[in-house]
Structure 1
Amino acid sequence: MASIVKRGNKFRAQISLYKHGEHKKLTKTFGTKSDATRWALENELEKGNGKQLAERTTTFAEFFENWIHIIKKNDVKETTFQNYLRTSNIVKKLFGDIQLKDLNDIVVQRKIDEYAKNHSRKTTHEVLLKIKTALRDAYARGYLATDFASLVKTRGKELPKRNKSLSITDLKKLRTYLLQNTDNEFNVLSLLALETGMRRGELLGIRPENLYVDVDDEYGIKVRHSISPTSEDTSLKTKNSKRDISINKEVYDILKAVPIKANGYFFDPDGFNQSAKLAQLLKKLDISKTTFHGLRDTHASFLFSKDIDIAYVSKRLGHINIQTTQNYYLELMPEKKHQQDADALNLLNSLSN
């Protein structure tokens, strides 16, 4: 079992090794306790050779923090790693000094339910997924006696969706305004969101070389980069995110006229305050409120309302599969819903004729 001892302003970490029939000690000194603990755990993990039951006295919060630095850091994108770091702070607040040996599904469920009181079901679910992954890893390494992660369920309030699709009426009003006021770069960015359904980071990641005109004089954007507020990693969210999106010539020419910034991109991230700017614009135009991501939802919902094939919509959005598109993005626009309601009632009425 590892030991951490403070010596002056330093922390000495020590672990026991058993090699070639002899017990040995491996020692190293660090400037902070967290660095010493992480080094000790990493070496304990590398020892392998059976169950590490002695480590069950480690708190779950400590295990989770060390686990994401040792295991997850090299397995996930930088933006995902930053999400794990934020979850680590949540785990510290929720679980405090609760040790691994004291964890079970009831304990974890109570903590998740506590978190769910002030958070949406979606947010709670995202936190729980990361916690479950850590719990399964802890079990696999022998730090937990049972694999109970699957027994813990997501609960929480179903909050109103913020990324609401605009109605067709509001979509037309907004699009007309944006086309008539392209001297403002935010308006161009918003227009592209409506016209392409691209994610905000993908729009901010457009470079001159990403624009294309093919042999059939079709215009488009090659989605190859994504700009994040939490990382310098510009790689795309998934392999399906790499795609070519067609646009009409008018929009293509509007984008081409935007001055290229010093970093080689068309748009400045501008503090990633796009949703706040959009809220001001929508209020000015007397249009229902939505987020900047809601423009992506609007694009998808509009295509769906016009009976565009769902496979095409899914590919255009860069989704992993059609199920993702169905689950999250294809809510009917109000006008389409009313039409579908009327069609359904007419079909039912025809049964009695």
Structure 2
Amino acid sequence: MASIEKRGSSYRARISIYSHGKAGYISKTFKTKREAKIWATTLELQKAQGKNIATQNTLFKDFYYLYVYTIKVKDVRVATFDNYVKAGKVIEKLFPKSKLGQLDDTQMQAVLDKYGETHSKKTVTELLKKIRTALRYAYTKGYIYHDFASLLKAHGKELPKRNRALSISNLTKLKHYLLNHTDKEFNVMLLLEISTGIRRGEMLGIKPEDVHFDGEYYCVEIKRSISPTNSDTALKTKHSRRSITIPKNIYDLLKQLSPKENGYLFDNFNYHHSEMLKKLLKNIGIPPTTFHGLRDTHASFLFSNNLPLSYVSRRLGHDSIITTEKYYLELMPEKKHSQDANALNLLDDL
């Protein structure tokens, strides 16, 4: 197994080798411990090429970081990469001594199930997505012999849904309140949210020139997304870049806003939007939800008025219509019940 030794302000990685019947080692010095680990893990895996990987001592947590810092870093935007790194911290705790060549679905499932006893199913699902990508890469490279990633399941606590879509009556109540209090910028933000369903980061990335009239419709262009954790402004998916039609009264309100010093239309309010929304909804007697819940509300409203699934998908900026279908089934159960009844009536009329 590789060893990492701190030497002053640097780190020395050391790898054992066996050549011409004699044992020895090679070493290299790095500025950071992470760089040293990546180099050491790479060489350990190279030693394993063409041999029984089960006999190797490469730790899964080390391999995961190697994969993230050398492969995933080139494939995803900064915000997503940060999530992979955060997942690595969890993997370090869950699999501190697990060796890559000795992993199997039974062992990993037991650890994930234990983790799920104290975490939500959503949290476990997000962690499992990242574990699967690393395992599939290991299998493709020949570092493990069995592709068991798909056998792993996410189990966890079912927590109350925070991103609840508002009912039509509460949506109407909220809209009327906001229209009567447009002197506050935050209220204008909420009006834009329930009118477009855009993501919060996308809203914070709007500049004055992104709001325009194209000769037929009033529109807002989604070109960038602002994150509270990094300076990356890349959109979530390739379909996130889009033009969304808005009502004229919302257009007029946006045009009245003065841009901030950074060039963006809205203040980030130190990213306390959730707390501000919770307080506002409580004051006007509407059940609590989140900014994403308002996005769900927009989708729910469009579905309830029979707009095509493909149109809603484009408006929301989903990468796939399958994602929108999940919204459709989850947000509008009453719509499904209505369609079930219609289907039964059609069958009865045969």
Deviation at 1:346, TM superposition (A): 12
**Could you tell me whether the CA contact under 8 Å between 1:56 and 1:99 is conserved in 2?**
yes
**Could you tell me whether the CA contact under 8 Å between 2:194 and 2:297 is conserved in 1?**
yes
Deviation at 1:33, TM superposition (A): 3.4
* Deviations 1:289-317 (CA, angstroms, capped at 9, x unpaired): 11111111001101111111221111111
After TM superposition, the structure 1 = structure 2 runs for residues 61-210 of structure 1, keeping only pairs within 5 Å, are 61-210=61-210
* TM-score relative to the length of structure 2: 0.88
Instruction: Decide whether aligned partners of structure 1 residues 123 and 309 sit closer, same or farther in structure 2, where only a CA change above 3 A counts.
Output: same
Deviation at 1:10, TM superposition (A): 4.0
**Could you tell me whether the CA contact under 8 Å between 2:84 and 2:130 is conserved in 1?**
yes
Task: Name the CA distance, whole Å, in 1 between partners of 2:54 and 2:322.
Answer: 44
SS at match of 1:11: strand
Aligned to 2:250: 251
**Could you tell me whether the CA contact under 8 Å between 1:51 and 1:143 is conserved in 2?**
no
Q: Does 1:288 align with 2:287?
A: yes
* Deviations 1:183-235 (CA, angstroms, capped at 9, x unpaired): 1111111111100011101111100121121122x101011111111221111
Mind listing any 5+ residue stretches in structure 1 that lack a counterpart? none
The letter of the residue matching 1:149 is A
The letter of the residue matching 2:338 is Q
Task: Name the CA distance, whole Å, in 1 between partners of 2:211 and 2:89.
Answer: 41
Mind listing any 5+ residue stretches in structure 2 that lack a counterpart? none
**Could you tell me whether the CA contact under 8 Å between 1:297 and 1:329 is conserved in 2?**
no
Task: Name the CA distance, whole Å, in 1 between partners of 2:247 and 2:272.
Answer: 27
Aligned to 1:236: 235
Deviation at 1:128, TM superposition (A): 0.6
* Higher mean C-alpha deviation, range 139-148 or range 278-287: 139-148
Aligned to 2:338: 340
Aligned to 2:264: 265
Deviation at 1:144, TM superposition (A): 2.5
Sequence identity of aligned pairs in percent? Answer: 51
Task: Name the CA distance, whole Å, in 1 between partners of 2:262 and 2:152.
Answer: 46
* TM-score relative to the length of structure 1: 0.87
* Deviations 1:154-174 (CA, angstroms, capped at 9, x unpaired): 222333321111001000010
* Higher mean C-alpha deviation, range 324-333 or range 304-313: 324-333
Instruction: Decide whether aligned partners of structure 1 residues 3 and 124 sit closer, same or farther in structure 2, where only a CA change above 3 A counts.
Output: closer
Aligned to 1:322: 321
**Could you tell me whether the CA contact under 8 Å between 1:120 and 1:158 is conserved in 2?**
yes
Deviation at 1:327, TM superposition (A): 0.5
**Could you tell me whether the CA contact under 8 Å between 2:48 and 2:56 is conserved in 1?**
no
Task: Name the CA distance, whole Å, in 1 between partners of 2:105 and 2:330.
Answer: 35
Task: Name the CA distance, whole Å, in 2 between partners of 1:153 and 1:314.
Answer: 28
Aligned to 1:309: 308
**Could you tell me whether the CA contact under 8 Å between 2:41 and 2:58 is conserved in 1?**
no
Number of residue pairs matched by the alignment:
346
Instruction: Decide whether aligned partners of structure 1 residues 258 and 63 sit closer, same or farther in structure 2, where only a CA change above 3 A counts.
Output: same
* Higher mean C-alpha deviation, range 24-33 or range 184-193: 24-33
